Amino acid sequence: MFIMQLRKVTAASAAVLALALSATACGSSDKDDSGSSGGGKIKVGIKYDQPGLGLQEPDGSFSGFDVDVATYVAGQLGYKPSQIEFVQTKSADRENALARGDVKFIAATYSITDERKAKVDFAGPYLLAHQDLLVKKASTIAKGEDLNGKKLCSVTGSTSAQNIQQTIAPKANLKEVGTYSECIAGLQSGSVDAVTTDDSILAGFAAQDKYKGQFKLAGLKLSNENYGIGVKKGDTATVDKINKALEKMVSDGSWQKAVDKNFGPAEYKNEPAPKIGAIVK
């Protein structure tokens, strides 16, 4: 008797599941799902190695402020968390990933700049960060000029590397790599004297258990990094939707919650939520 009932329930839920699946399949065809592999998925570019912002955990899940922003935004575009497929978009790959349509949008510590705006469109900004330096606790490097003649690490295709070469310390011995975790490994081993990028990113690394007590941030605010959400050039409909989503994320308290959860452990003192369209030069 019990078994019979169970069978009935199972059959009934199978029918419901089938309906749900076909509804999803239908739904995806009306959705603007360029950048998706079909089946109602949305592909979103994030970083995979930046603790507190975009990090792939050992179990394969993702954490960080950018991940939470991306998940909220995708939700407002009509996608459940299970429908999001995260894709790694390294600093130097972001414009091409959008141009090719590999991803629908990118939330990856992606600063809005005029140079990038020639190739992609941005929603936001949703966070204001500042370029800074990370050095060993005992280091005497304390300001930008101290970097001249020193071994410095940053990432190819980042504003951080560009600012060093153009203004902050053109005579620094700059080593450019693909990701910030490679720079941090070099700082620990002593192959570089300093790492430069956004304070938000550096604070996340410094707070990791394996590095606790080893590094310090210079606290210099060497630039203004206005994080935007990158979309394919010309996709203004998506920019508008994402801007509405970001406004809602701030007004309903989700933005602050994501800040507390992701920046709290690193004791990163972030700037207040920016207004949409308000770029700090």
What residues line the site for ligand GLU (CB under 6 A)? 91, 108-111, 155, 158-160, 197-198, 225
Distance (Å, whole) CA 181 – CA 178: 9
CB of 95 to ligand GLU, least distance (A): 11
- Cβ-based nearer residue to ligand GLU, 98 or 155: 155
CB of 129 to ligand GLU, least distance (A): 7
CB of 159 to ligand GLU, least distance (A): 4
- Cβ-based nearer residue to ligand GLU, 93 or 193: 93
Say which residue the tokens 């990370």 belong to. 134
Q: How far is CA 208 from CA 56, 111, 143, 164, in A?
A: 14, 24, 24, 26
Q: Which residue is at the shortest CB distance from ligand GLU?
A: 158
- Cβ-based nearer residue to ligand GLU, 46 or 74: 46
Is the Cβ–Cβ distance between 193 and 151 less than 8 Å? yes
CB of 199 to ligand GLU, least distance (A): 10
Is the Cβ–Cβ distance between 114 and 120 less than 8 Å? no
CB of 108 to ligand GLU, least distance (A): 6
Distance (Å, whole) CA 184 – CA 205: 8
Short-list 38, 244, 262, CA closest to 124? 244
Torsion of CA 38, 54, 200, 260, to 10 degrees: 90
- Cβ-based nearer residue to ligand GLU, 158 or 243: 158
- Cβ-based nearer residue to ligand GLU, 83 or 91: 91
